[in-house]
Structure 1
Amino acid sequence: MAFTKSSNLWLSSDHADEGLDWTGDLTRLQESPAEPTLLGPETKPIEIAEAEPPERARRRGRMVIWVAAILAVAAIGVPAWFAADWLPGDTPPPAASGRLVIETQPVGAVVMVDGVMRGVAPVDLALAPGSHEVEVKTDDSSRLMPVTIVAGGTVTHHMEFQSAIAAFGSLLVETDPVGAAVAVNGEPRGASPVLLEDLQPGQHLVRVQGDTGSVERTVSITAGSRSSLFVPLVPRGVPVSGWVAVKSPVELQIFENGRLIGTSVAERVMMAAGRHEIEVTNDVLAFRAIQEVNVRPGQVAAVPVNLPNGILHINAAPWAEVWIDGVRAGETPLGNLNLRIGPHEVVFRHPQLGEQRHAVTVTLAAPARLSVDLRK
């Protein structure tokens, strides 16, 4: 039971619900003091809050319920949102970062950034802006490099590492006659011919021992490539040199190791016995070729050179029959004629205008063009 105040009198809320006329009841109570009250005759009135209208009370109740629901959702959702985005113990991500991409050939190289392993290549790493020290390692090599990362930028490095096999070079040692003992840097490596595939890059001293004596040669080895060494072992008193004869329809210069040793005009060029790699060139024709030749003691090694074809365009006014080097080629205009590089003689013939002869040189540098006016 609740009580409400009216003129300092306690009244039961049971009466309030019965819809009493409060003004009338108050007058009646004031006029009948002998009527007993809940306070008793000696009790002083107590000041209490005035009654709140029922509709307002119901609205305030509903508001309290809504506020409590909102607070409950916030109490559950906010921690859950923070837990999903960042868990205790995690390092919050930096405000901005850049990317470092490392690719290697072959793949699988270990990538370390600032002394910390970050994976095996290929990798795509997010790094804080600034300078970093990156080391990329394989089983037999390592590369160290500084990189600078810019926020929002990407730095990419592609590295190629030689495999363990490619880290060595090879050497083929041949002798004439065969069967000579071969030693490299003082270590016996077998009898010629012998292929050595495990030589470190650099200079090596090769010694070949035959029945008539020994020969020493210094060879240069390059990683991943093969070198050849031919050593003639001839009896004492037998010539140790021979000749090279380059046969060509045009003059060619002959070089060995970048040094001019003769031309094709000479009948033959003397060279030391053994295997040689020579270069034949003609700058006017834009021609260059590499030839390998084996020079035997006291003998001439013939080196034939096959010249490639170039392009020739021919025209005449008003028109003409054309012969090239004595062979009829047709009537003008003639285009895209394939002719061996070098000089050629071209003859133009017209039944009324007669005959003209011209010289033309075909090269590899550009198509050659020959045009004549038979009316002049």
Structure 2
Amino acid sequence: MDDRHALLAAAQALRTWVYARRAMWTDLPLQLPPIASPLPAPPVPAADHRVVEPTVAVAPAARSAPPVPEPSRHLAPATPRTTGRQIAKTGKRSISLSDAFASFADWWRPMAIAALVLTLVVGLGLSVRWYWAGLAAAPTTGTVLLESSPANSRVLVDGRELGDTPLRTELSPGRHTVEFRRQKATRSLEVVIVAGRSTVSRLDWTAKRTGRLQVRSDPAGARVLVDGAVRGVTPLDLDDVTVGSHVVVLETAKGSVGRTVTVHEKQIAELSESIYSGWAHVSTPFEVAITEGGGELRLDERNLILLSPGLHALQFENAALGYRETIKTEVQPGATSSIAIVPPLSSISITSTVPAEVQIDGERAGETPIANRAIKIGTRDISLRDAAGSERTITVTVTTRPITVDVDFSKP
């Protein structure tokens, strides 16, 4: 009962102090006194049996504090609270505002700290329990249903044989390679497994296997032919190209470029070409005139011809030798292709008035008479030597027509 009266008295004193302070409010800055250096605590006075009423500050006349209501008549008179700070264990002492605050702080701080610690411990325990419960309940595998048309295809997952379709199995989360085998054919698919979920992977053996083809050119706008069929102009994306090798040709006004492209199932094959001129180098043992489509082409000092990229059909001709031939060559952008003219074969027959050994361009050809010997067209040097050492040398022009040479040793 004494503690109750002391608490009521402290509350009344606090309210009175608050009203007094509110009456002294001002707009001027707060003036704080300098902090004094700490001094030793004064000795605790002996217990005093005198009753001291709480001191109440008097507000200025300009702002008078509202009257303080009287304590309830139903309450017993306030009795000073005896604390552990008193030296005497008996007796009465006066209750001041600072004593009321100290009494309140004695129990409030420990209780607040205890409540905070309890809250942290309980919250941490619940969090750990929920975490481990979640780990225990989380699924670690996913389910996949593997089907094929027709059924009964052998199934291997990541190289491990599991059985025949239709087949349901559990796999670890992530990507897996599924291989279907039927007779001598093999096809592979990729499945993605998610923990706790089911997925279906189906293979149709009767469906056409296709891939994608992306074609680009510089400059753009080139006509695209796939295996001879026009499919559009660059840039071009095709989604229905059958699996396998295809000949892709890019055609422009500046020329054409042809490439062989291999398309794989469910993959993208890319073709990108720059279309600009290239060179053709011509090697020939005799003079030739070069034309293409009726237009004359001239060799430079390096025996090079500047041509547009693509396939060319060049005509080579030497009227004096009776030579005419068409040679096809493919010119790549910025590259040099080579053309070597191989003289065609004609035939020669050689006779002499006396038996003689024959050499053609320094190589032994036999003894006269020689009939219908194969020889390359062009200018040839023929030498004959008889048994006495007499020698005759002549130069002949071999054309595409057969030629006959007769040497008379009786003439110088």
Tell me the TM-score normalized by structure 2. 0.36
Structure number with bigger Rg: 2
